[in-house]
């Protein structure tokens, strides 16, 4: 049945090649969020220009021919199978686009945030600023509990991680880890300021001797 649907679409495409109206070829959608808006817009345009007389099933199948790649392949095959058996909830190309947005827009955005989470580091900034960015990146993704804590600890500067590990009683929640890390960072920065001040005072005293 799937092969039959694809044959019908291929036949329709051959007929469209004789059309005088030229429309840019639709680019493949591989499941990445940055491709989705252009893919949907161009598919809309092509259907409006060349496929308005086609039945909904043909329009949907045609769009799915351009959904390709490891991320989307299983999802596409399942949908084509349901279409062939006439049990799919997708009855129009608009419903297909909504389904694509719901299935891959959110997932891709979450993957992007997870990638940010795995690379974010404190660096030269204060722990306050690191915590603020960490909270922003983790908002809306699926990380929680121990995996979230481990990613937070990974991004901390080594001296702070070491100091936290030396504590007799370790924090148990991400909020506690963040509060204690900020406190340690502030103490360390204050100690460095005091050491510099002390060093200047000693240097001045030695000059006056």
Predicted confidence at residue 209, as pLDDT, reads 53
Based on the fold, state whether residues 6 and 82 are members of the same structural domain: yes
Least confident among 72-86, 110-124, 181-195: 110-124
Q: Is the dihedral of CA 103, 119, 172, 135 positive or negative?
A: negative
CA triple 46-49-52, angle to 5 deg: 95
Based on the fold, state whether residues 102 and 169 are members of the same structural domain: no
User: Is the pLDDT reported for residue 21 higher than 60?
Assistant: no
Predicted confidence at residue 4, as pLDDT, reads 53
- Residues in Cβ contact with 153 at an 8 Å cutoff, skipping those fewer than 6 apart: 161, 164, 177
**Average pLDDT of the residues in 33-55:** 87
Predicted confidence at residue 3, as pLDDT, reads 52
- Domain C-terminal end among 94, 111, 128: 111
Count of domains forming the chain = 2
Based on the fold, state whether residues 106 and 133 are members of the same structural domain: no
Assigned token pair, 49: 């220009």
User: Shortest CA distance to 56 belongs to which of 100, 92, 82?
Assistant: 92
**Average pLDDT of the residues in 151-160:** 94
Based on the fold, state whether residues 91 and 167 are members of the same structural domain: no
Q: Which residue did the predictor score with more confidence, 110 or 77? A: 77
CB 102 within 8 A of CB 31: no
CB 141 within 8 A of CB 117: yes
**Average pLDDT of the residues in 83-88:** 86
- Domain C-terminal end among 111, 140, 169: 111
In the chain, DSSP finds a helix count (H) and a strand count (E) of 10, 0
What is the span of the domain harbouring residue 169? 120-208
- Residues in Cβ contact with 79 at an 8 Å cutoff, skipping those fewer than 6 apart: 64, 88, 90, 99
- Domain C-terminal end among 111, 143, 173: 111
CB 164 within 8 A of CB 170: yes
Based on the fold, state whether residues 6 and 72 are members of the same structural domain: yes
pTM greater than 0.85 = no
Assigned token pair, 139: 């908002």
């Amino acid at each position: 049945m799937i092969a039959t649907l694809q044959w019908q679409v291929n036949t329709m495409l051959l007929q469209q090649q004789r059309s005088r109206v030229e429309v840019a070829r639709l680019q493949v959608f591989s499941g990445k969020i940055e491709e989705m808006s252009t893919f949907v817009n161009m598919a809309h345009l092509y259907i409006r220009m060349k496929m308005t007389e086609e039945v909904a099933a043909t329009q949907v199948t045609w769009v799915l021919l351009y959904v390709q790649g490891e991320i989307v392949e299983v999802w596409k095959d399942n949908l084509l199978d349901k279409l062939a058996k006439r049990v799919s909830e997708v009855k129009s190309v608009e419903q297909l686009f909504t389904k694509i947005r719901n299935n891959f827009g959110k997932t891709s955005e979450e993957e992007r945030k997870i990638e940010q989470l795995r690379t974010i580091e404190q660096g030269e900034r204060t722990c306050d600023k690191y915590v603020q960015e960490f909270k922003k990146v983790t908002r809306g993704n699926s990380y929680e509990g121990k995996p979230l804590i481990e990613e937070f600890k990974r991004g901390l500067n080594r001296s702070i991680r070491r100091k936290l590990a030396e504590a007799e009683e370790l924090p148990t929640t991400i909020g506690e880890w963040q509060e204690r890390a900020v406190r340690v960072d502030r103490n360390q920065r204050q100690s460095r300021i005091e050491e510099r001040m002390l060093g200047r005072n000693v240097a001045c005293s030695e000059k006056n001797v």
